[in-house]
Structure 1
């Protein structure tokens, strides 16, 4: 199993707070890799909220090709953060090149476009750079999005974090997703390392998605450029969330009804029975099988945790006014927020979606048997 930890904070915090929580859960992951999603940044990047930030790993030749690619499209560098190694390279971590986050000034013609078109362009650039770098492995891109940085590497999470010096002001942020990966299904590949990101949607998973192949095939058939990759069976959870938000126009309260719809008997007396029946029929190829615990973050900063019906992967949510955490184990919560009210901790069951809004005031529980808000 993997171990998951996520933080939602009113004020920017160091990513090491999440890494240290992963470290106390290290018996549940084998140190084969770590992935970080950092959003709603503080520091200098927090002062350029609209500038898309490219994050990844680049060789010298890859940087030259990156610069030529971005120059051709009119993107000008605004600020660059290079994660210079601070310690000896950890055992098992390859020598790769430059770990970098770079914010860009958007070309004037794109800046004049609407938000949806800009977002599609950012996604297309990320996909193009990823494909461009796959043959020589000289360009590895994990995100190209405003106010967002991602870091992925092979090795023990705490050792890698110390090696890259992640406890620095430029990386302090309000939303963090962190996963310590136990490599159980596939060869180690940085694109198979959680979290997974698409147009502001980010998720990570502890479990095994045994319905992976039909879900992947359905998503690939949608003709959407961002539905690609799939080095991990868990990447589809991010893409299904994206499909729910962007294609269906439905909010987080509907996500569980897409991936784990109610049975016909459970739906019978539901106030939204007709709508739920249509969703179940329309999205039947997106129904998951488990066991899976999924933690995610939406574009506006809302965080959530869901379980599938098998409920065989641990997960707990807790915190206090101003900061909340989602964790695979209670000891992770204890490490990150020791002064919370432990009696208020919540472990979502198979019908629940646990939600923390960006204001970080409380945990909201949405149960599938409850009435739903009307779609926009």
Structure 2
């Protein structure tokens, strides 16, 4: 099983906090990879939150191609963090030329564009860069979005973090998600390493989704830019989340009604049974099969956790006002927030959606049997 850790904090912190928590849970991952998602950034990126940030790994040739592409499209560099590593890498970590995090000024031609149009174009550019990188194997692009940084690498999470010196001030954030990977694929593909990102939403998962094929086919049939790649069976969770908000106009309390709908007898007594019955019928191909524990982040910086009906993957939420963490194991919580009221730790069951909002004031539990807010 993989191991997951996410934290939301009023005070920005470096990714090392999450990576050290993963290290405490190292028996649950095999050191085959690590993924990191940073949002609500601190440090130098805090003052330029509206600027799109490109995160990825590049060869020297790839950087030259990137620079040419971005200049051709009217982007100017506003701030960058270039991680140049020592010549000798740790065992199991591939040799790379440059890890790049670069914030840009928008092209002048974009002035006056709506947010929706800007976000659509950022997605299109990211997908084009991914395709360019795949063609010549000189670019791996994880994200291109305002106030978001993503890094992924093969190797033991804490070893990779120390190698890349991720304790630097430039990488501070108030929301951090990290996964220590248990390789279940035949080959290790960095794009298959969690967390995944789509249009302002991010998820990571511990488990396996054996309903992957019908879900992938449904999502691909929507012809929505960004619903592509599918390097991991868990990647569909972020696409379903995005579809829920952007296409169906529902909120996080409806997420489980899509991926794990209620049984018909329970559904009949639900306050929103007409809507939910319709959702269950029209979105039946999005129903997952687990076991899966999913942790995600919403555009407003809320963190959430859900389980599927099998509830065979561990997950716990705990903390104190101003700082809460979501962890695969309690020992991960203990390592980062030892002075919390442990009696308030919550382990969600299969009908629960646990949310800590952007105010980081409390843990909110939504149950599938409750009425929907119907707004997001």
Q: TM-score range by the shorter chain?
A: over 0.9
Corresponding residue for 1:373? 373
The alignment partner of 1:175 has SS state of strand
Structure 1 runs, 4 residues or longer, greater than 4 Å off: none
**What stretches of structure 1 of length at least 5 have no aligned partner?**
none
3-state DSSP class of the match of 1:254?
Answer: helix
Equivalent residue number for residue 69 of structure 2 = 69
How far is the alpha carbon of 1:185 from its aligned partner?
3.0
Q: Is 1:295 paired with 2:295? A: yes
Q: Does the Cα contact within 8 Å between 2:251 and 2:374 map onto a contact in 1? A: no
CA distance in 2, matches of 1:136, 1:2: 31
Task: Confirm or deny that 1:201 pairs with 2:177.
Answer: no
Change (3 A) 1:313 1:364: same
Moved more, 166-175 or 80-89: 80-89
Please give the alpha-carbon distance, in whole angstroms, between the structure 1 residues aligned to 2:275 and 2:73. Answer: 44
- Structure 1 residue 136: deviation in Å? 2.1
Q: How is 1:88-167 mapped onto 2 (pairs within 5 angstroms)?
A: 88-167=88-167
Aligned residues of 1:86 and 1:162 also touching (Cα < 8 A):
no
Contact kept, 8 Å, 1:259 with 1:288, in 2: the verdict is yes
CA distance, structure 1, for counterparts of residue 374 and residue 216 of structure 2:
29
Corresponding position of 1:219: 219
Cα distance in 1, alignment partners of residues 86 and 175 from structure 2: 24
1:83–1:100 CA contact under 8 A, matched in 2 = yes
Which residue is 1:249 aligned to?
Answer: 249
C-alpha separation in 2, matches of 1:371 and 1:231: 35
How far does residue 18 in structure 1 lie from its aligned partner after superposition?
0.4
Question: Aligned partners of 2:358 and 2:11: how far apart in 1?
Answer: 10
Q: Alpha-carbon deviations, 1:263-283, whole Å to 9, x = none? A: 111111111110111111111
Calculate the TM-score normalised by the size of structure 2.
0.98
C-alpha distance in 2, partners of 1:186/1:125?
A: 30
Contact 2:7 2:177 in 1 (8 A): yes
Other structure's SS at 1:135 match: helix
Aligned-residue offset at 1:88 = 4.2
Q: Which residue of 1 aligns with 2:354?
A: 354
- The one-character-per-residue Cα deviations of 1:344-365 (angstroms, maximum 9, x if unpaired) are 0000000000000011111000
Question: How many angstroms apart in 1 are the aligned matches of 2:186 and 2:126?
Answer: 23
> Could you tell me how far 1:306 is from its partner in structure 2?
0.3
Map 1:299-338 to 2 at 5 A: 299-338=299-338
Distance (Å, rounded) in 1 between the aligned partners of 2:331 and 2:185? 26
SS of residue matched to 1:127:
helix
CA distance in 2, matches of 1:365, 1:276: 19
Structure 1 Cα separation of the partners of residues 87 and 166 of structure 2: 12
SS of the residue corresponding to residue 371 of structure 2 reads coil
Deviations 1:279-303 (A, max 9, x none): 1111111110100000000111011
The aligned length equals 376
| Structure-2 separation of matches of 1:25 and 1:32 | 14
Contact persistence 1:40–1:173 (CA under 8 A): yes
Question: Could you tell me which residue of structure 2 aligns to residue 275 of structure 1?
Answer: 275
Q: Does 2:174 align with 1:174? A: yes
Please tell me the root mean square deviation across aligned C-alpha atoms, in Å: 1.0
Per-residue displacement from partner, 1:313-369 (whole Å, max 9, x unpaired)? 000000001000000000000001000010000000000000000111110000000
**Unpaired segments of 5 or more residues in structure 2?**
none
Cα offset, 1:109, TM superposition? 2.1
Distance in 2 separating the partners of 1:339 and 1:314: 22
Tell me how far apart the structure 1 counterparts of residues 87 and 291 of structure 2 sit (CA, whole Å): 38
